[in-house]
Amino acid sequence: MWQSYVNGLLVAAGLIMAIGTQNAFVLAQSLRREHHLPVAALCVACDALLVAAGVFGLATVLAQNPTLLAVARWGGAVFLIWYGSQALRRACSKQSLQQGENQTVRSLRAVMLSALAVTLLNPHVYLDTVLLIGSLGAQQTEPGAYVVGAASASLLWFFTLALGAAWLAPWLARPSTWRILDLLVAVMMFAVAFQLIVTP
């Protein structure tokens, strides 16, 4: 059970830590203290539901078809290696998270609708969260523990951003910080890909 939990935690952490529209949105809201906690909660809930849908929706199909299971296994390994390589490439380049200057206060409804759009209209959420994390979770001995692990990573990450963004703003703006994060992402992705390849 713990192995499945840790796998879910590491895979999800590696995927959500990279700079992206969702992270940028949460950080921007947090720096402005504009409904940042509801936004973080919404992102966590969406991630948990999408991961669970992917894990339990694909589990039956994969279990009944060894060919699809092999495709998911090797496809997941290839994608993880590619994703880790992208993170490694980003780690070797200069980048920082740019925050918007707009200080207009918006309603909770407007902010939550924007957060939903950023989360659900991003095609990567379906590739990463539903297909990749879901297919990997379907192969775990304890898929439920895997889902909880993935949800835990999302919970820790988004609430860390929401609660610590203002305090960490100068640190988060440094390219060196995201370089370190991307290096950690690459290590996580390569480690999980290796596990998939060597597992009989």
DSSP annotation of 125: I
pLDDT in tens, 81-91: 887 888 788 77
Q: What is the mean pLDDT of residues 133-138?
A: 76
> Is it the case that residue 120 has pLDDT exceeding 50?
yes
pTM of the model: 0.66
pLDDT at 101: 44
Residue 31 has pLDDT above 80, yes or no: no
d(CA 188, CA 157): 15
pLDDT greater at residue 69 or residue 112? 112
User: How confident is the model at residue 112, as a pLDDT?
Assistant: 94
Sign of CA dihedral 57, 63, 65, 71: positive
- Please tell me the predicted confidence (pLDDT) of residue 129: 77
Contacts of 110 (CB under 8 A, 6+ apart): none
Question: Confidence class of residue 40 from pLDDT cuts 50, 70 and 90?
Answer: very high
So what's the pLDDT on residue 102?
45
CA pair distance 130, 125, nearest whole angstrom? 7
Is pLDDT at 100 greater than 60 in this prediction? no
Helix and strand totals (H; E) in the chain: 9, 0
Quick one: pLDDT at residue 155? Answer: 93
What is d(CA 42, CA 47) in angstroms, rounded to the nearest whole number? 9
* Contact between 7 and 15 (Cβ < 8 Å): no
pLDDT score of 127 more than 90? no
Most confident of 62-71, 112-121, 182-191: 112-121
Check pLDDT > 90 for residue 94.
no
What mean pLDDT is reported for the chain? 78
Would you say 175 and 95 are in contact if contact means Cβ atoms under 8 Å apart?
yes
